[in-house]
Structure 1
Amino acid sequence: MKMTCSECGIEYPVSSVAYCCPCGGLMQIVQELGGLDADRLKRIFDDRLSERGTLHASGVWRYKELIHPQLSSEQAITRYEGNTGLYEAESVRAFAGVDRLWLKAQSENPSGSFKDNGMVVAVSQGLSLGYKRFACSSTGNTSASLAMYAAWSGSEAYVFVPEQGVAAGKIGQTLAYGARMIRFAGTYDDGIAFLQRHAGELSLYLCNSVNPWRIEGQKSIGFEIAHRLGWKLPDWVVLPGGALSNVAALGKGLRELLAIGLIDKLPRIAVVQAEGSSPFHRMMAAGSDMLTPEANPRTRASALRIGDPPSWKKAMVVLQETSGVTVSVTDEEIFAAKRVVDRSGIGCEPASAASVAGLRKLREEGTIDRLCTAVCILTGHMLKDQESLDMYPHEPDGASGQSRPSKGAEGLYPDAIRAMFGAQG
C-alpha cells in the first residue's frame, strides 16, 4: 500500500499527512491487490456478517483488507457504521421508470449520512498518527460526522461552516456532539481553501474529502452494495454530486473489486447535480476537461451547494472508465422525488432525492433504458434538513395526512374523523 499523487504519480509514505501535491493533484491510496484471492475474501466477508460487537461488525471495517490493511485493529475506532439498508420500494421504482431499483439508505448511518463511511477511516488514521484535533469545512453532514467521531474518540473537532445556506438541524447536531464551530462569510470552498493552507500550522488533521483516507472509507458503500447483491452489480449506480468525493470513492472501490475478481463488470455511474450548483455537469456536457467553478452556487438541497468540487478530476476519470453520465435537476424535480421517497417509508434529505430525480430524468431522456436495473444512493436522513419541508407543494386538506376541523375547543369532531377515513355520519 502506498500514497501517490493522482495526477503526477509522485509517491509519498503512507504515514504522510498530505492532501494535495505541489502539482495540484489530490493524494490517493494505492492498494496492493495482487495477492488477494476473491473466493477467500468472499468467505471472510460472509463470515463477518454474523459478528456482533467486534470491529468487523462495522460495515466499513468488515472489508478492512481492502480499506486499510496496515492499520492495527487497536487503532481503528467504530460506531458500527455502514450496514445500511438496500431497499426495493415499488412506488419509487414506478416513479423512476426502470425495471428494478434498489435504494441504498446511507441515512441509517449513526450520524445520519454517508459521511460516516469515510470519516471513521480518516479519524482512525489521524489518531494513529497522534492527532487529537480534527477539522473540516462543511455544509453540515461532514461536520456532524466529524464531531461525532471526535467525541467518540475523546478528541476535539473544529468545524468551519458558512454563515448562510446550512440546515439548522445539521448545525445543532454538530454542536450537540461538542464541536467548536467557526462560522464564516463565504462558501464551503472558501473553508476548504483556508484549511488546506493552515491546518498544518494549527496542528489540525483535515478530514474533508481531500484527505485520501476519507475516500478509502467511502469505498465501502460500493462494497456493501456488491456484497448484498451477491457480487452482481446492477446496470447503473446513481448518486448525488456535491464535492464529488462519493463518485471518486465509488469508482475507485468498484475498480478494485473488478481487479480482484470479486465482480465481473463495472456498472455505469450517473452523477446528479442540482441545476443551480452544477459545474461538473456543465463541464461534462460541454465535453471540456476543465471545470469552471460557480462563485455563487444555489439550491435548496443544501448538501449540493458546492461551486468548486475538489474531487472533480477523480470523478471525471470514474465516468470515463464506466461510460458514465451526468445530469442536472431542478429543485422542483428534487422535491418531487423526495416526496415519493418519503412516502415510501424510507425518507431522505433533499440532496439524497437528487439521485432518484436524476434517474427519472435520464429515463425520460432515453439515456437509461426502461429495462435497466439501478441502485440510487440516498446520502442523508430526512430530518437533516427540516426547513426543506416548507418546499413541499401545497395539497388539498387531507392529501398530506392532516385533518383541519373548522371549529371546536378540542379540535377533533366526529365528522372530521369520519372524513379522514371516508366513513359516513
Structure 2
Amino acid sequence: MKLHCNDCDKRYSLSDFKYGCSCGGLLEIEQDFSNVDSDYLKQKFEERLSERVTPYASGVWRYKEIIFPELEDRHMITKYEGNTGLYQAEKVNQYLGVQKIWLKCQSENPSGSFKDNGMVVAVSHGKSLGFNKFTCTSTGNTSSSLAMYSSLSNSQSYVFVPDKNISLNKVLQTVSYGAKVITFEGTYDDGIQFLEKYNNELGMYICNSINPFRIEGQKSIIFEIAQYFHWNLPDWIVVPGGALSNVSALGKGLRDLYDLGFIHKLPRVLLVQAEGASPFHQMIRNNESILKPEPHPRTIASALNIGNPPSWKKAKHTLNTTQGITISVTDEEILNAKAVIDQSGIGCEPASASTIAGLKKLYASGEIHPEETAVCILTGNLLKDTEVLQHYHLDDSKNSLFANPLFKSELIIDSIINL
C-alpha cells in the first residue's frame, strides 16, 4: 500500500503518512491487487457473513484484504458497522413511476450515518500510529461518528462545528458521545482550512474526508451492494453530494472491484446536490475545469450545506470513469421525496432524500430510461434533523405535499373512528 496523488502522480510510503501532497492535491490509498486471488476472496467474504462477535462481522472489516490488509488485527476497532439494509419500497416506486429501485440504508449504521464505514478505518489507523486525540470539522454526521469511535477506543475527540445552518440533533449526539465541541463563526470550509493549517501544532489525527483512510473505509458501501447482487451491479448508483467524499469513495470502490475482476462493467454514477449548495454540479454543467466555491451555501439539507467541497477532484474522476452525471434539486423537492421515503417505513435525513428527488427529475426528463435499475444511497437516519420534520409536518403542514399533522381529538369513539 502507498499514498498516491492523482494531481501530480507522486507516491509516498505509508510510513510517511500525510493528508495532502506537496503539490496541494489530496492523496488516496494505492493498493497492488496483482497477486490477489479474487475467487478465494469472494469465498472468504461469503464465509464472513456468518461471523457474529469478531471484527470480521463488520460490514467494513469483512473486506479487510481490499481495504487495509496491512493493519494488525489488534488495532481493528469495530461497532459492527455496515451490514445495512437494501430495500425496495412500493410508495417510492409509485412516486418515481418505476419499479427497479433499491434503497441502501446507511442510516442503519451505529451512529446513524454512512460516515461510520469510513470513520472506523480512519480511527483504527490513527490508533495504530499511536494517536489518542482525534479531530474533524463537521456539519453533523462526521462529528457524531468520530465522537462515537473515539470514545469506543478510549480516546478523546475535538470537533469544530459551524455556528449556523447545522442540525442541533447531530451536535447533541456528538456531545453525548463525549467529544469536546468547539463552535465557530464561519462555514465548514473555514474549519477544514484551520485544521489543515494547524495540524502539526494541534497534534491530532484529522478524520475529515481529506484523510485517505476515510475513503478506503467508505468504499465498503459499494462492496456490500455488489455482494448483495452477487457481483452484478445495477445500472446506476445514486449518491448525495456535500463534501463529495462519498462519491469519491464509491468511485474508488467500483474501480477496485473492476480491477479485481469482481465486476465486468461499471455502473453509472448520479451525483445529486441541493440547489443552494451545488458548486460541483455547476462546474460540471458549465463544462468548467475548476470548481468555483459557493461562499454562502444554503440548503435545508444540513449534510449538503458545503460550498467548497474538498474532494471535488476525486469526485470528478469518479464521474469521468463511470460516465456519471450530476443534477441539483430544490429543498422542496428534497422534502417531498423525504416524506415518501419516511412514509415507506424506511426513513432518512433530508440529504439522503436528494437521491430520490434527483432520480425523479431524470426519469421524468427521459435522461434515465424507466427500465434502468438504480441503487440510491440513503446516508443518514430519520432523526438526524428533527427540526425539519417539525417544520414539514406541523408548522407548515398546509404547504407540504405529504404532511402528516397531529390530530387533536377527545377520547370519544365516534371522533376516533372518523379520523
TM-score for the superposition, normalised by structure 1: 0.96
Q: Which residue identity does 1:162 align to in structure 2?
A: P
Shift in Å at residue 364 of structure 1? 1.3
Show the counterpart of 1:167: 167
Show the counterpart of 2:302: 302
Shift in Å at residue 399 of structure 1? 7.0
Structure 1's unaligned 5+ residue stretches are 406-410, 421-425
Q: Which residue identity does 1:301 align to in structure 2?
A: A
Shift in Å at residue 401 of structure 1? 6.5
In 2, Cα distance between the equivalents of 1:17 and 1:391?
Answer: 46
Cα RMSD over matched residues?
A: 1.4
Q: Which residue identity does 1:403 align to in structure 2?
A: F
Alignment of 1:58-69 (within 5 A): 58-69=58-69
In 1, Cα distance between the equivalents of 2:255 and 2:101?
Answer: 22
Show the counterpart of 1:18: 18
Show the counterpart of 1:276: 276
The alignment of Structure 1 onto Structure 2 pairs a total of residues equal to 415
Say if 2:319 is the partner of 1:319: yes
In 2, Cα distance between the equivalents of 1:322 and 1:65?
Answer: 24
Deviations 1:145-174 (A, max 9, x none): 000000000000000000011111101000
Partner secondary structure for residue 181 of structure 1: strand
In 1, Cα distance between the equivalents of 2:406 and 2:160?
Answer: 39
- Asked if 1 retains the 8 angstrom alpha-carbon contact of 2:397 and 2:403, the reply is no
In 2, Cα distance between the equivalents of 1:22 and 1:2?
Answer: 15
Partner secondary structure for residue 98 of structure 2: coil
In 2, Cα distance between the equivalents of 1:61 and 1:399?
Answer: 40
In 1, Cα distance between the equivalents of 2:66 and 2:91?
Answer: 35
In 2, Cα distance between the equivalents of 1:231 and 1:364?
Answer: 29
Q: Which residue identity does 1:255 align to in structure 2?
A: R
Runs of 4+ in 1 over 4 A off after TM superposition: none
In 2, Cα distance between the equivalents of 1:155 and 1:49?
Answer: 30
Say if 2:189 is the partner of 1:189: yes
- Asked if 2 retains the 8 angstrom alpha-carbon contact of 1:269 and 1:322, the reply is yes
In 2, Cα distance between the equivalents of 1:284 and 1:400?
Answer: 37
Matched-pair identity in %: 58
Deviations 1:359-400 (A, max 9, x none): 11111121111111000000000100000111345259x972
Show the counterpart of 2:392: 391
Deviations 1:2-39 (A, max 9, x none): 11112111111113331111211101100111111221
Show the counterpart of 2:411: 412
Q: Which residue identity does 1:149 align to in structure 2?
A: Y
Shift in Å at residue 57 of structure 1? 0.1
In 2, Cα distance between the equivalents of 1:356 and 1:15?
Answer: 42
Partner secondary structure for residue 161 of structure 2: strand
- Asked if 1 retains the 8 angstrom alpha-carbon contact of 2:122 and 2:211, the reply is yes
In 1, Cα distance between the equivalents of 2:40 and 2:398?
Answer: 55
Q: Which residue identity does 1:184 align to in structure 2?
A: F
In 1, Cα distance between the equivalents of 2:144 and 2:136?
Answer: 10
In 1, Cα distance between the equivalents of 2:78 and 2:16?
Answer: 23
In 2, Cα distance between the equivalents of 1:399 and 1:252?
Answer: 39
Show the counterpart of 1:28: 28
Instruction: Say which is worse superposed, 321-330 or 4-13, in terms of deviation.
Output: 4-13
Alignment of 1:29-44 (within 5 A): 29-44=29-44
Shift in Å at residue 40 of structure 1? 1.0
TM-score for the superposition, normalised by structure 2: 0.97
Shift in Å at residue 404 of structure 1? 2.2
Shift in Å at residue 415 of structure 1? 1.9
- Asked if 1 retains the 8 angstrom alpha-carbon contact of 2:339 and 2:403, the reply is no
In 1, Cα distance between the equivalents of 2:403 and 2:330?
Answer: 24
